[in-house]
Amino acid sequence: MNLYQRGSIAVIFCAQRTQNDDESYSAAANAMSDLAAKQPGYLGQDSARSADGLGITVSYWENDEAAKAWRDHPDHSAIREQGRGKWYERYTLHVTRIERSYDWIK
């Protein structure tokens, strides 16, 4: 939950999980989160998952090249195939550009 510069990229990943393989899913999700954080141009991420298996992860990147490089990372691509095979019923992904940001803290 941070602010990012105008022009940064936010990738919005909304996914409905299957009921399969909760342990392997968590391990893979954590590994991907750690690996993403090591990529050039990575800024941060926000993630929430409801009890019904609907999850939203937003990852933030300095520019589109960084977001695309992560999309094409071999380990990420391999996990994506696994995800389609067993962890996800469906998903949408929106690549967006930040126009303005606000925050509020009590």
| Cβ at position 87, least distance to a copy of itself in Å | 10
| Stretch touching a copy of itself by CB under 8 A, among 20-28, 34-42, 90-98 | 90-98
| Stretch touching a copy of itself by CB under 8 A, among 20-28, 34-42, 84-92 | 84-92
Nearest residue (CB) to a copy of itself, 23 versus 52: 52
| Cβ at position 16, least distance to a copy of itself in Å | 7
Q: Choose, by CB under 8 A, the member of 33, 49, 65, 77 that binds a copy of itself.
A: 49
If we measure between CA atoms, which residue out of 60, 46, 48 comes closest to residue 10? 60
The DSSP secondary structure of 16-83, one letter per residue, reads EE-SS-HHHHHHHHHHHHHHHHTSTTEEEEEEEE-TTSEEEEEEEESSHHHHHHHHT-HHHHHHHHHI
- End-to-end Cα, the chain, rounded Å: 14
| Whole-angstrom distance, CA of residue 83 vs CA of residue 49 | 16
* Contact residues for a copy of itself, defined by CB under 8 A: 1-4, 10, 12, 14, 16, 18, 46-51, 54-56, 58, 64, 84, 88-106
